[in-house]
Structure 1
């Protein structure tokens, strides 16, 4: 009988958790996808790149709402059972509250494992994969970013300006400035220009103009009646390098261990092929590792908070006040959890404390359960 009871309530919790996390995730994903339209409208990337990028952002959204969905699911199901007097039936069947609590604490370890897998492996991989689509994409919608009488500088080191577009699609009085490097640049003027696409290569065909080259302070100029200007060699100004959130967890661990063992203090050192592994970036590495490997451990504590609802029955005159206090405590804790990464620094002792803090909190709340239930008598 006890196995049936545990199986039913745990199944209800899982089902409601999946419903909550995916419903909230899809709502946030849709709202975020609207913002990502900038990749097409402003940066010139194609809709296929846009779709892949937004789709791969979904794991990150799920990982962020995971703690909230966990508490919401377990608290809702426990209160639902209480309101239907089903929890009273459990106690009358001889199920002790402490055994009930022990079951859910053990059950929570599955969610901890899922959260660890999501934060440490799936989300970083998905984010890096999404960034790779941008790195490898060309300016599929180059024409969409061209606006008359507006300086367009979203294309790498190139700035474009033109006066207007005529009915034939020609750009009138176009200005191009290419920043080759810090000392070299090329400025091109043309009366008209057309856009040609061939073999996935975009080319501006410039007519009746001149180019001015500035090479190490030396100015040279040449005129042309027609010339080709390859646009496909330029990328978007969208961030292309791998960010720390996209770095594999194993690389971040290797980076932190290297600096822990090494006595090197040069700020600009970078370790092998590990991206973002620099001494000046070490604090960010620790914060990212905390978010991926420590935050998931708080899942057990959040489920334990929801178990506080079983300490009082709905017939108790203080039930509603108690319910309000539990919800308030849980939401304040979730806010703390979201901002707790700011407490991580390069101080290893401080980081160690915050790494074991979720275990300390879980132990404290478990001792609170033992005290409240008077385990020796119940």
Structure 2
């Protein structure tokens, strides 16, 4: 039945971010060649070979610049000597250490996201609030569909139908109460059922009740929006993996003595995707606080928000504020390293 499957999907929705990351773990290790499984040349190994060609090509420009400085009587800059050694170290053995470093960066991003969704706000963890927001939607859909068949009936047949529907709805509420405990949104739904039950007992059904029924297409739309949310999280994971694959090329091209080091540009892109995931979890978590409060109104806006609007907003924030933050951090670190090296030399 569509409603039951929707119910299961929404109840387990809070674990989506963690499950998506875990489902990609083996793919990351296989693609980056650190899983230890036997095989031929990996895609990452081929890209390391391409990165090595880039390194050799850009090394020529580095040598020319170094020769020009020495010819003009300028002292050799220590960074000119360190970068070739660093690039050679990272690309050696099919980029083994570059791959391990990339996985370590991903672990840091995943850990930060896990800590964000586990933080407590208004006495409840954000991941629990996310579960409640989805549970609120699922329960209202279930109750709506149990009463829908009574709408076309009249008289005693309608009363009997409503009694059966109320009994079924009460089972749903009891099940959700056993899962979530005593919650405001559950108490509101329970009060709604009690009012209907009182009206049925005295021999009448308020037809206004049926005006609260959710449209037939609502479960389908909610399911689509939920899977759009999961698809977005998988898209972020795929984007980060593709960015990781470009690491060897960026590392090899970082020997070019002109402009910004390409490895810093690569790190900026890598962390920008991580910022997108972080922003998404924060946005959805905060929206869950509103969706589970008594002032949040109809919770179905949360499905649209989490499935469509939150991905757009998180991507915009990551490409704007997140990118600026990481650029500032990397710039500060770069200046510190250059100052330290200049002091040593």
Identify the TM-score tier after normalising by the shorter chain. under 0.3
Relative contact order higher in (CA < 8 Å, ≥ 6 apart): 2
The TM-score normalised by the length of structure 1 is 0.26
More helix by share: 2
